[in-house]
Amino acid sequence: MISDPLQVDDFNKKLKSWYLKNHRPLLWRQTTDPYKIWLSEIILQQTRVAQGTPYYEKFLENYPTVFDLANADERDVLRLWQGLGYYSRARNMHYTARQIVSEFEGRFPETALTLSKLKGLGNYTAAAIASFAFGEAVAAIDGNVYRVMSRIFGIKADMLSNEGKKEFAQVAKTLISHEDPATYNQAMIEFGALQCVPVSPNCSICPFNDICYAYAFNVQNELPVKAKKLKVKNRFLNYFIIQQGDKLAMQERNTKDIWKGLYDFLLIESAAHVDSPEELADNAMLLVLMKKGTIRQVPKLYIHLLTHQKLHVQFWWLTIPESEPVDLPSNIYFFSKNEVETLPKPILIDTVLKEEKYL
């Protein structure tokens, strides 16, 4: 394990040299504004750079300061976020913007410790903001950095265990540059993203191949160790798109389930796949609605993957004449086509409406 100050200095010089030659000119690297850095970090959680960049630009265009974001309506924030997934990130981001304005007068805290107490900011995001914006010498450890440290220094501890996290944190604390912590953190993250990639890294051109444990013992595919695996739950969702004229019946999801704060249709969840709505006949309201109009199945079964869930989703389109009275649950309302378009929706719902030529 690296510990000698001269070895650390040599490691940092090689890392910085590589970074200056190879880094990508990403927009959020061209600023020390904590708001812009925070925005980029939240958007890039669970999101690739290519996908996240347009959202970063859209959010800055609509909400150029933390005050603008704090004053925004949550529905508008979720609508702008549509397509990124993990919508709790958007809700937490909006909440935190309001917290920064109300408790800190719009100024971001300058230390990782204080930042980590804000909603939606874990240790990595807090450290990233503190080092990039304020120059605090604190290591930002994301998945890329775990991989780099594990392979180069032969760390075999499970990166998801408490013991493993402590070991990685100690190594990172030893390595962090106190002269330029922002560049060090950016370089470690970028090195993992571009050079020390998860699969088939090109070790022959790596500046650390003379000291790399994984390269020496050919165990690149075995490090880092990540023992815990999420169990994926299968869910079967049956949606009924109820239309009268140009209006659709939609509901806001307000439980602790997926897509909270977004709008979808009348939903009946089943234990397994069903071939027809009649198999859901225990729902008396649905039977009454089906007798009032004509129903057709959207000719496609959608598979939607979330981190810990696999959604099997099918849709039926129920058209009811405008002359027929419709008795819906109290949380479902009819919205015009223009209103439907502006409501924040899961990307799956938006996709179906576009494929069905409604939007």
- Return the structure tokens found at 347: 């990307």
Ranges of H-type helices in 3-161: 5-22, 34-43, 49-62, 66-70, 74-81, 88-104, 112-115, 123-134, 143-153
E-strand ranges in the chain read 233-244, 247-252, 263-264, 266-270, 294-297, 302-305, 309-319, 332-335
Give the Cα separation of 353 and 177 in Å (integer): 51
Q: Rounded to whole angstroms, how far apart are CA atoms 341 and 359?
A: 7
Q: How far apart are CA 205 and CA 160, in angstroms?
A: 29
Other beta carbons within 10 Å of 182: 21
Among 41, 136, 167, 190, which one carries the catalytic annotation?
41
**Hunting for tokens 């000119």 — which residue is that?**
25
Q: Catalytic annotation on 41?
A: yes
The enclosing H or E element of 65 equals: none
d(CA 214, CA 3): 19
| Contact indicator for 286, 277 with CB cutoff of 8 Å | yes
Residues with active-site annotation: 41
